[in-house]
Structure 1
């Protein structure tokens, strides 16, 4: 495997005050933005800067309009009508011209309407089975490791839950495990990922025997799933039609419907009344219960009902789309179509949308989708809209197509979508992977015929992610949650664990980015980000020594990759992990009738059937040089080659030995115009990796209970690769004072890193002392804190309170109110600016660490941890081992920010039983 070493780091990096010949910013590209009235402006997340030495690069930007109140005001057409203009302040981060960075402004002009997006995709990726990875490198190694692991799994285990749910014998089937086990209500999610991964593995596999085995197991799964599904085809004489989804649990029954395991054992006795076409690894009452707004509680209510439905639908659709056996692909489509229509039938007849009124008023009647999809995890639906919209474009019957598209739009989440459609950041504090797949669904609804509302949601979301939430490896989320905008360092440094950025998020962001690129193939920023995700977090999320994948990623100080998740059903990231490594090539090439876009420089052979051309790309991954040849055929088309954002020096494209570029602009494409290609043609792309910093938008000032002198922090990049160093245990050790300090560290690419690695470093450079408090930032932060206090006090005043619906968990809320009271004194006292910044940082840290009221906090595990220590002292036994294993998982979930109190209670009671 190729390793990248770093030497002479400082010679290529801006580090004012440390380099022998420092350089500083002399100019920044002007920012003039047009925005349609009723929308907040979409401001660039990076800008081209020019330095005193004449060189330039892209630098990240932090804009000062990220406060929700400010964005809502900017999106109010009565405040900013057509014809008006206004300015937004911002800063180039990582610069020490001022304590906040290099000051800039954006001029915003309000217009009636901005440019409409393309009504259909401009380009499409070459199909997965038409692009094959070649060579012997980390990519092919990971792919083969994934395929072999999939083939090691017993398909009968994947069928266990279906047989159990549909009243068929399970005696020959190993019991499902992980999150598909009999004691989890997410069962079926892993099987869905298994189906998708098997299809992708079939498309990517080079071994004929393995390919045949993959196909036979896919066929077995489909035959048995259809067998179960057909048990729901039950005619009702009294209804004069088949028993359908809408007939499950009439309203009076629904209001009394329970969700305990004993209840689900009863529901499994009557698969004939699941409703025509229902196929799922758990009875339909799981989907139905959320219509009564039942919370996330695995023991007594639900987990994420439609999330599991989506995984299984997606698996079936992937088989129908990828597999080249007509009978198999048609059966997969048939099963998916019937289940898709079950979903339409249920949501069309039994649900509705009511946006106005109080929450109690919105929940007065069952089935209000505004509330259903806005619930934490219980309302997590995965990519239901994406799958249903895909289905609508695959079926031929017009009525079915209309029903499936309607079903897709039934998963609109107005509380989340409506602000995003106006470019108001509704991302903050939400569960990350609950919401990212909803955005891919919105974009697919647009492609299937929905309005620009859906496109705007997807595009606005993607751009908001780039500046406000992403980390250097491309991932997002902290403890599974989006935190506050522009607080990546603060939230990372104050997280209980240094492992953050759920891998499922990276999987779904890559999918969204690929789909957006289809509408904007000439905008290289999409593939720049895709490359960042793929080359770092995705490739780095599999253990190259034995098949294990990551849930949370190693991002923070002295972090180690927590390997595990050996099966698709083990966790959600075990599922996406099974798919990630058999589809690296899916976005390498995009095409339309007469243009080929080379989006990624990977060693591949690509077959473009429409042009009757086979293209071979030869390089060593990760590539600083790539050669593209016509291996077979020779169509007539233009070729566009991406100039990565980081390729600021030495990039060149040569056609048959002659350079065709002249100072190409990073973050664009170089075009070889329409021409007839032959096997004699050779395209050579040269792209030396340039070293640069990827800055966090905020400084490290507070970590745990310790305060630090405010310094910019950054990850070291070599081309597209994030570099990681070992042996750094404290933030003091991770502080770079001068150029020689870099020699203390040994760097490797993040994808090759494993134990005790650090990516972010504090950069100690002279900073001009603050002379006054930035009242804009202060007032915005105080307003945010006051809003949370008001929401909590309003809930406290309710006569009837449901704990799961409390705005904020109590311990974090108490810490925030204490910091708010101290910070509020800044406005009324003559506190010096340095102390004011420290107080503000502590308030930001407290705000960032708050958890929603339905989630457990670290303090809630005190008794559990004490009991775990007592049980460890007992003699070893299988019961002891199992109880401790479950308790440790609960500790991990709560630490990561997704655990609930019922999980703690169950683990606590299990340990108490052992100690009796």
Structure 2
């Protein structure tokens, strides 16, 4: 439906963009968009300082070592010298490329050129096209080439996810070409891809799928990109061979089989499915990618846009672990969900895609960087009353540091989009766009989300007809209050939420547009419809500060578990429950002032908390917080909540006694504890992962104080048939058996004196052919 308004003697066409009129759009390059003053510009500058604090020669060290060259500096610690050596180097290359495109910073460009030159020196010295930092790389890939493939979810031939590792270098080279136009990076990327063609040429399709059991990032997407760059279909065929069919097939049938899977292993695969679908117009693969996006964003994501507990997809009908556990949504997951959203948006510019993008960008990505020191967050706990841990540039080299370096360099990627005759405004972030092809310089100034008013100006324009398409988000609950003006004259018509509003005319220099969107408080519930809610103001998630008590490890050390917030848990029955209906609770939150985003809750809570304050979650750092709060309609009803906390109290008690914990069968937990095994397998029961073995399996555990007990969780119907060795000594004595929920039991052994420090624990069969299935291992004080 169109509305024509006569404005200053010019016919202005105003209409929502309907599904029938949508078409593919193009994105602007990062160097065409400059951020203006806002929290996003501040985050970008903080990221720039963090990037410059890293020493290129230390990041290059693993690549030089594996190429047979002398490193110029020692490797960084943490993941960079314990098996995933070199993975941050790939992210660093991507981040430098994006940051240079986004800022034009000369020092960033100098480091980028140096890093590429050194990687080329490695590639040339090896002579096969290979570049990588995994310890023992050349032997590993020779094994793979001859068909000797031993794949687990977190390892390949005994190495920590080497395919995932090299994907970061592939992607770094691709980003250097895309964002900076480096022909050197392009040539290195093609040679590197030719090396992979050679490595896999003799492998059957069955062997390829076996290898893809191991986490491999988005290699299928990279190889599809190389096809687009070169036009050579052999690279598209390689992309097909690196597409994991076990995940793809149910998605084509629109079946959600994701529960229990390692979340961030799957998301990059799906980005690749979508890119391949676009390259060959494959409707089935496109459908698979869209179904995955829909089920993850609608059924498996919390209010900040993130997903997963302890890195795995929890059941969509049970988010209890999200509330209980401190290892909530992982930043890498959201980084990749935004990459998938961007690729979907390019082929279908739908507002609902940008609604999710906005939610995840403001509430998860922006919140994942400490604004002063610049540390990055791995897990964002949804557990009420807990806190986040931040990385440090000398100690922390997790996956979320790598993606964090990129996240805050590329805020400009989707603020705007375009087709031949239209400019799309997607995000309300102060910025200036230079669209050379149209002779347009377009700026956006806004205090959003502090204000719902956005001001747009054509600073330069050639007086040619152009459609300006303004996103009207779905979070606008009162569309009749939306206001739009052109050059100060207000237009009267009804806008449609979830659509683009199109203003079409010959724009000239100095023309201005103002958009006012009404913002209001609303409640959002956990996806499983359990009685936990969060406050939002427009799209912005609000959080209540909860103090600074016991922020253990707030800034991470270089330990393998340093990314987890190990401080004391606040018992959930001490978290205030908000009393009333959702409408009553919603109406009890009031904004305190017009300038800031401070809110006060004046309603009833149990236990009583008077005048709780809430602020945007992205602005809350270095303290505990409350996002999701329990809700009940009366204090009497809440008594049942208090009566049902026995299990929760037991959970909190053992968590607060835990010195170290392993979740066998879970990828990161096992790799953080240096898993070793022989003739072993993993599985899951009732959404709990386990490991068992006909041979043996073992770990290295570390405690900061003496341990008195070892606690093992197994299924109640399974006899205890494991021989346990601690530091090569058999553990003697009968364990204390405690029933748990969901048909599990905890076996607690008294330990001989076990000093603080590192200890090995090994499980072997005892009295049978296979060990018990072990679901959890804890050293307790």
Q: Calculate the TM-score normalised by the size of structure 2.
A: 0.72
Is 2:522 the counterpart of 1:695?
A: no
Partners of 1:611 and 1:405 lie apart in 2 by: 34
- Tell me the equivalent position of 2:308: 477
- Tell me the equivalent position of 1:175: 75
Cα deviation, residue 862, structure 1: 9.2
Is 2:690 the counterpart of 1:809?
A: yes
Within-5 A mapping of 1:358-437: 367=207, 369-373=208-212, 375=213, 379-395=214-230, 398=231, 401-437=232-268
Is 2:550 the counterpart of 1:550?
A: no
Q: Answer whether contact 2:270 2:340 (CA < 8 A) is retained.
A: yes
Within-5 A mapping of 1:653-664: 653-660=484-491, 662-664=493-495
Picking from 734, 741, 748, the partner of 2:604 is 741
Is 2:510 the counterpart of 1:633?
A: no
- Tell me the equivalent position of 1:823: none
- Tell me the equivalent position of 1:644: 473
Picking from 112, 119, 131, the partner of 1:279 is 131
Partners of 2:103 and 2:528 lie apart in 1 by: 44
- Tell me the equivalent position of 1:41: none
- SS of the equivalent of 1:552 reads coil
Partners of 2:278 and 2:423 lie apart in 1 by: 21
Is 2:346 the counterpart of 1:518?
A: yes
- Tell me the equivalent position of 2:539: 720
Partners of 1:126 and 1:670 lie apart in 2 by: 20
**CA offset digits 1:433-481 (Å, max 9, x no partner):** 0011111111111222251222111101001112210000000000000
**CA offset digits 1:864-890 (Å, max 9, x no partner):** 9x84xx32xxxxxxxx6xx59x99xxx
**CA offset digits 1:576-609 (Å, max 9, x no partner):** 0111111112110111111111110110001112
Partners of 1:616 and 1:816 lie apart in 2 by: 66
Cα deviation, residue 524, structure 1: 0.7
Picking from 352, 372, 382, the partner of 2:205 is 352
**CA offset digits 1:213-250 (Å, max 9, x no partner):** 111111111112112212233xxxxxxxxxxxxxxxxx
Picking from 604, 612, 615, the partner of 2:439 is 612
Q: Answer whether contact 1:503 1:573 (CA < 8 A) is retained.
A: yes
Cα deviation, residue 698, structure 1: 2.6
- Tell me the equivalent position of 2:631: 763
- Tell me the equivalent position of 2:288: 457
**CA offset digits 1:251-279 (Å, max 9, x no partner):** xxxxxxxxxxxxxxxxxxxxxxxxx2111
Classify 1:565/1:486 alpha carbon distance in 2 versus 1 (closer, same or farther; 3 Å): farther
Is 2:336 the counterpart of 1:502?
A: no
Picking from 129, 144, 159, the partner of 1:302 is 159
Classify 1:813/1:576 alpha carbon distance in 2 versus 1 (closer, same or farther; 3 Å): same
Classify 1:662/1:333 alpha carbon distance in 2 versus 1 (closer, same or farther; 3 Å): same
Cα deviation, residue 699, structure 1: 4.8
- SS of the equivalent of 1:725 reads strand
**CA offset digits 1:90-120 (Å, max 9, x no partner):** xxxxxxxxxxxxxxxxxxxxxxxxx9999xx
- Tell me the equivalent position of 2:34: 132
- SS of the equivalent of 1:606 reads strand
Is 2:322 the counterpart of 1:492?
A: yes
Classify 1:116/1:166 alpha carbon distance in 2 versus 1 (closer, same or farther; 3 Å): farther
Picking from 390, 398, 414, the partner of 1:587 is 414
- SS of the equivalent of 1:671 reads strand
Within-5 A mapping of 1:561-580: 561-566=388-393, 570-580=397-407
Partners of 1:347 and 1:863 lie apart in 2 by: 49
- Tell me the equivalent position of 1:337: 190
- SS of the equivalent of 1:576 reads helix
Gaps of 5+ in 2: 1-18, 548-569, 581-587, 589-602, 638-676, 692-711, 720-738, 762-772
Cα deviation, residue 421, structure 1: 0.9
Partners of 1:862 and 1:472 lie apart in 2 by: 42
Choose 684-693 or 342-351, whichever is displaced more.
Answer: 342-351
Cα deviation, residue 567, structure 1: 6.4
Partners of 1:817 and 1:767 lie apart in 2 by: 42
Partners of 1:551 and 1:519 lie apart in 2 by: 31
Is 2:96 the counterpart of 1:198?
A: yes
Cα deviation, residue 812, structure 1: 6.2
Cα deviation, residue 611, structure 1: 1.2
- Tell me the equivalent position of 1:141: 42
Partners of 1:342 and 1:322 lie apart in 2 by: 24
Classify 1:696/1:213 alpha carbon distance in 2 versus 1 (closer, same or farther; 3 Å): same
Q: Answer whether contact 1:551 1:565 (CA < 8 A) is retained.
A: no
Q: Pick the structure with more strand per residue.
A: 2
Choose 504-513 or 609-618, whichever is displaced more.
Answer: 609-618
Classify 1:449/1:330 alpha carbon distance in 2 versus 1 (closer, same or farther; 3 Å): same
Partners of 1:154 and 1:862 lie apart in 2 by: 46
**CA offset digits 1:55-100 (Å, max 9, x no partner):** xxxxxxxxxxxxxxxxxxxxxxxxxxxxxxxxxxxxxxxxxxxxxx
**CA offset digits 1:653-686 (Å, max 9, x no partner):** 222233446332322211113x211123211111
Partners of 1:421 and 1:860 lie apart in 2 by: 45
Cα deviation, residue 292, structure 1: 1.8
Classify 1:726/1:667 alpha carbon distance in 2 versus 1 (closer, same or farther; 3 Å): same
Cα deviation, residue 640, structure 1: 1.0
Cα deviation, residue 903, structure 1: 13
Classify 1:802/1:152 alpha carbon distance in 2 versus 1 (closer, same or farther; 3 Å): same
Classify 1:621/1:630 alpha carbon distance in 2 versus 1 (closer, same or farther; 3 Å): same
Cα deviation, residue 726, structure 1: 2.7
Partners of 2:344 and 2:354 lie apart in 1 by: 10
Partners of 1:817 and 1:558 lie apart in 2 by: 36
- Tell me the equivalent position of 1:788: none
Partners of 2:514 and 2:627 lie apart in 1 by: 32
Cα deviation, residue 816, structure 1: 9.7
Q: Answer whether contact 2:33 2:412 (CA < 8 A) is retained.
A: yes
Picking from 669, 676, 680, the partner of 2:506 is 676
Partners of 1:901 and 1:566 lie apart in 2 by: 36
- Tell me the equivalent position of 2:666: none
Picking from 589, 599, 611, the partner of 2:426 is 599
Classify 1:737/1:128 alpha carbon distance in 2 versus 1 (closer, same or farther; 3 Å): same
Q: Number of residues paired by the alignment?
A: 611
Classify 1:459/1:117 alpha carbon distance in 2 versus 1 (closer, same or farther; 3 Å): farther
Is 2:360 the counterpart of 1:529?
A: no
Partners of 1:299 and 1:419 lie apart in 2 by: 25
Partners of 1:116 and 1:412 lie apart in 2 by: 32
Classify 1:296/1:643 alpha carbon distance in 2 versus 1 (closer, same or farther; 3 Å): closer
Cα deviation, residue 306, structure 1: 1.1
**CA offset digits 1:697-726 (Å, max 9, x no partner):** 3354xxxxxxxxxxx221110111111113
Gaps of 5+ in 1: 1-114, 234-275, 354-366, 701-711, 770-799, 819-841, 851-856, 872-879, 888-899, 909-916
Partners of 1:469 and 1:520 lie apart in 2 by: 22
Is 2:109 the counterpart of 1:215?
A: yes
Partners of 1:520 and 1:556 lie apart in 2 by: 36
Classify 1:305/1:173 alpha carbon distance in 2 versus 1 (closer, same or farther; 3 Å): same
- SS of the equivalent of 1:803 reads strand
Q: Answer whether contact 1:568 1:575 (CA < 8 A) is retained.
A: no
Partners of 2:200 and 2:748 lie apart in 1 by: 37
Classify 1:483/1:315 alpha carbon distance in 2 versus 1 (closer, same or farther; 3 Å): same
Is 2:61 the counterpart of 1:187?
A: no
Partners of 1:117 and 1:345 lie apart in 2 by: 45
Cα deviation, residue 757, structure 1: 0.5
Cα deviation, residue 173, structure 1: 1.7
Q: Pick the structure with more helix per residue.
A: 1
Partners of 1:624 and 1:733 lie apart in 2 by: 32
Q: Calculate the TM-score normalised by the size of structure 1.
A: 0.62
